[in-house]
C-alpha cells in the first residue's frame, strides 16, 4: 500500500535539500524523532525527590502531633514511606513515558489511555506502602492483632478507605507531574522549532546572497566583452592583451563569487583591474588613480560589493557627452563604520539617470540581507557635474587589531 507524502516530502528539490542542510527532517520523521527522554528523566526525578521528601516530612510532623495526644500508628514510619516512593519511582517514570508517547490527539483515543496510566499508578501507592512496611517489619507494630489477608477482610476493614484516600492523593501528584513534563516537552519542541526555523532562515539567506553574487558575473562579463569587441576591429594587439586581462579578471570574479566576504584590498585590486581594462578602451577620456596597497584600510567587505558601483560609474560617466571622465573610489573609517564611495564626473544635463539598474539594486538588496538596518546605500548627484554612490556599513576588522585609523581616507 502506498502512503501519501507529507507536505515537506512534496516540496521542490532545491528547498528539500535546503531543509535537509538546515536540519529539518521531512514528514513524520521529524515528529517521531522528537526530543530525547533524558531531559524529561532529570525533571521527573527532581520532581519525585521533592514529592518523596515532602510526603515523608508531612507524615512525620503529623504523627508527631498525634503522638503528643497519645495517638500512635496513624501514619506509616518515614523509612516505610521512603521505600514506598522508591518502589513507585519506576512505575511513575513508566507511566509518564507512556503518557508522552500517547500524546493528546485524537482526544477520544488518548484520554482513556491517559486516565488508565494515571489510575494504574495511583492505585498502586497503598500496596507499595504496605510492602514497604512489611519489608521493614513494622506491620505487626502498626497493626497489632491484624488477622487475615483475604479480599473479604480488606473490603470490610479500614484498608479500602485508606486505599482510596492514598489513590486520590497520588492521582493529584501524578497530575502535577504530568503537567510539568508536558509543559517541559512543549518548551523543548518550541525551542527546537525555533532553532530549525533559524537554521532554515540562515540557509535561505545564504542561498539568496549566492544568487545575488551569481547575478553579477554575467552582468560584468557582458560589459567586458562589449568593451573588448570595440577594440578587435581597429586595435587587435590591444584586444589580445585585453583578453589576457579578461581571463585574470574572470578568475578573480569566480573566486570572489564563491566567498561571502573579501578583504577590502582584494576588492580594490579587482576594481583596479576592471578599470584598467576600461581605460584601454577609453584612454583619452577616462582618468583613474590607483592607491598604494599599504594605504588601504584593513577591513572585510561583502564580495564584489564595489564592482556594480564602478561599472555604473563608467557607463553613467561616459554617457551623454564626449568630455573627460574621472572616477574615484574612497574608503573612510570612522568609529565602527566603514564608508565606501565611488564618485564620477557626469555631463551637466544628466541629473538622476544613474540611480537605477541591476547593479545598484543588487547592492541595496545584498546590504539589506547581510546587515539589515545597520547598513545603508545611496546614489545621487553630489553637484551638477559629480555623481556619488555611497555605502555605510559596519566595520569588519581583520583580526583583533585594526589598522584602519578613524577618518582615514584613500583615493583611487
Sign of CA dihedral 106, 48, 67, 145: positive
Contact 344, 313 (CB under 8 A): yes
Looking at the structure, do residues 197 and 241 belong to the same domain, yes or no?
A: no
- CATH code at 387? 3.30.565.10
Cα four-point dihedral sign 187, 192, 193, 197: positive
pLDDT at 147: 45
Classify residue 230: in a domain, yes or no.
Answer: no
Instruction: For residue 7, tell me if it sits in a domain.
Output: no
Question: C-alpha cell of 23?
Answer: 536540519
Q: Contact, 45 vs 97, CB < 8 A?
A: no
Which cell goes with 192? 527546537
Q: Going residue by residue through the chain, which has 412 residues, state the pLDDT in tens, using 9 for 90 and above.
A: 333 443 333 333 433 443 344 343 333 333 333 446 688 888 999 999 999 999 888 888 887 887 788 777 677 788 888 888 999 999 999 998 888 888 888 888 888 989 999 998 998 888 888 888 877 776 555 555 444 444 444 444 446 777 888 889 899 999 999 999 888 888 888 888 888 887 777 666 666 656 655 555 565 667 667 767 777 777 778 778 878 877 777 777 666 656 778 888 888 888 888 888 778 777 778 888 766 777 788 888 888 888 888 888 888 888 777 778 888 888 888 888 998 989 888 877 665 555 666 778 878 888 888 888 899 999 888 887 888 999 999 988 863 333 334 444 444 4
Same domain, 60 and 195: yes
Looking at residue 173, its pLDDT comes to: 92
- 95 contacts 117 by C-beta, under 8 angstroms: yes
177 and 326 share one domain: no
Q: What is the C-alpha to C-alpha distance for residues 401 and 345, in angstroms, rounded to an integer?
A: 36
Cis peptide leading into residue 106 (ω within 30°): yes
Q: Is residue 69 part of a domain?
A: yes
DSSP labels for 211-278? HHHHHHHHHHHHHHHHHHHHHHTT-HHHHHHHHHHHHHHHHHHHHHHT-SEEEHHHHHHHHHHHHHHH
Q: Are residues 178 and 309 in the same domain?
A: no
Domain membership of residue 70 as a residue range: 34-141+149-201
Q: What pTM was computed for the model?
A: 0.50
What pLDDT sits at residue 91? 92
Whether residues 342 and 393 share a domain: the answer is yes
Q: Tell whether 264 and 342 lie within a shared domain.
A: yes
How many Å apart are CA 326 and CA 362, to the nearest integer?
Answer: 24
Residues 257 and 366 in one domain: yes
125 and 187 co-located in one domain: yes
Buried b (16+ CB within 10 A) or exposed e, 90-111: eebbebbbebbebeeeeeeeee
Helical residues (DSSP H) of 289-376, grouped into ranges: 307-318, 358-371
Query: Which of 183, 201, 219 finishes a domain?
Result: 201
Structure confidence at residue 157 (pLDDT): 43
Per-residue cell: 10:
512534496
Cα distances (angstroms) measured from residue 51 to each of 38, 74, 206: 20, 20, 50
159-232 and 125-135 helices, crossing angle to 10°: 110
The answer to whether residue 79 is domain-embedded is: yes
Residue ending a domain, among 158, 186, 201, is 201
Task: Tally Cβ neighbours within 10 Å of residue 322.
Answer: 8
The count of structural domains within the chain is 2
Q: Are residues 182 and 262 in the same domain?
A: no
Same domain, 192 and 303: no
Q: Are residues 156 and 300 in the same domain?
A: no
Asked if residue 8 is part of any domain, the answer here is: no
Same domain membership, residue 287 and residue 161: no
Residue 403 lies in a domain: yes
Q: Give one word for 349, left, alpha or beta, with left for phi > 0 and alpha for psi -120 to 50.
A: alpha
Asked whether residue 1 is assigned to any structural domain, the reply reads: no
Amino acid at each position: 500500500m502506498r502512503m501519501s507524502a507529507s507536505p515537506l516530502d512534496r516540496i521542490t528539490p532545491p528547498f528539500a535539500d535546503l531543509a535537509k542542510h538546515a536540519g529539518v527532517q521531512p514528514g513524520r520523521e521529524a515528529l517521531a524523532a522528537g526530543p530525547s527522554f533524558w531531559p524529561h528523566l532529570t525533571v521527573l526525578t527532581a520532581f519525585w525527590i521533592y514529592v518523596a521528601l515532602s510526603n515523608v516530612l508531612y507524615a512525620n510532623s503529623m504523627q508527631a502531633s498525634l503522638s503528643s495526644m497519645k495517638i500512635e500508628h496513624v501514619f506509616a514510619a518515614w523509612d516505610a514511606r521512603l521505600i514506598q516512593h522508591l518502589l513507585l519511582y519506576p512505575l511513575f517514570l513508566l507511566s509518564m513515558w507512556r503518557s508522552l508517547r500517547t500524546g493528546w490527539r485524537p482526544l477520544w483515543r488518548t484520554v482513556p489511555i491517559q486516565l488508565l496510566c494515571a489510575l494504574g499508578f495511583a492505585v498502586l501507592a497503598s500496596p507499595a506502602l504496605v510492602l514497604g512496611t512489611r519489608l521493614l517489619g513494622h506491620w505487626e507494630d502498626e497493626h497489632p492483632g491484624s488477622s487475615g489477608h483475604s479480599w473479604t477482610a480488606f473490603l470490610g476493614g479500614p484498608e479500602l478507605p485508606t486505599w482510596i484516600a492514598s489513590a486520590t492523593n497520588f492521582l493529584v501528584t501524578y497530575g502535577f507531574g504530568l503537567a510539568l513534563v508536558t509543559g517541559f516537552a512543549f518548551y523543548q519542541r518550541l525551542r527546537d522549532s525555533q532553532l530549525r526555523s533559524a537554521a532554515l532562515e540562515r540557509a535561505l539567506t545564504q542561498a539568496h546572497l549566492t544568487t545575488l553574487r551569481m547575478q553579477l558575473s554575467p552582468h560584468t562579463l557582458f560589459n567586458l566583452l562589449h568593451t573588448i569587441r570595440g577594440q578587435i576591429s581597429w586595435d587587435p594587439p590591444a584586444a589580445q592583451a585585453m583578453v589576457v586581462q579578461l581571463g585574470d579578471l574572470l578568475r578573480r570574479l569566480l573566486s570572489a563569487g564563491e566567498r561571502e566576504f573579501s578583504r577590502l584590498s582584494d576588492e580594490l585590486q579587482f576594481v583596479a583591474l576592471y578599470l584598467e581594462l576600461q581605460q584601454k578602451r577609453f584612454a583619452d577620456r577616462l582618468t583613474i588613480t590607483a592607491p598604494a596597497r599599504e594605504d588601504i584600510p584593513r577591513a572585510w567587505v561583502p564580495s564584489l560589493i564595489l564592482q556594480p558601483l564602478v561599472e555604473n560609474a563608467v557607463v553613467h560617466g561616459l554617457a551623454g557627452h564626449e568630455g573627460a571622465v574621472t572616477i574615484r573610489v574612497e574608503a573612510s573609517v570612522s568609529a565602527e563604520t566603514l564608508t565606501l564611495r565611488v564618485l564620477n564626473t557626469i555631463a551637466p544635463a544628466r541629473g538622476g539617470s544613474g540611480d537605477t539598474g541591476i547593479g545598484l539594486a543588487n547592492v541595496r538588496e545584498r546590504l539589506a540581507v547581510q546587515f539589515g538596518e545597520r547598513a545603508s546605500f545611496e546614489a545621487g548627484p553630489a553637484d551638477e557635474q559629480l555623481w556619488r554612490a555611497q555605502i555605510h556599513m559596519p566595520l569588519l576588522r581583520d583580526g583583533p587589531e585594526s589598522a584602519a585609523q578613524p577618518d582615514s581616507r584613500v583615493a583611487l
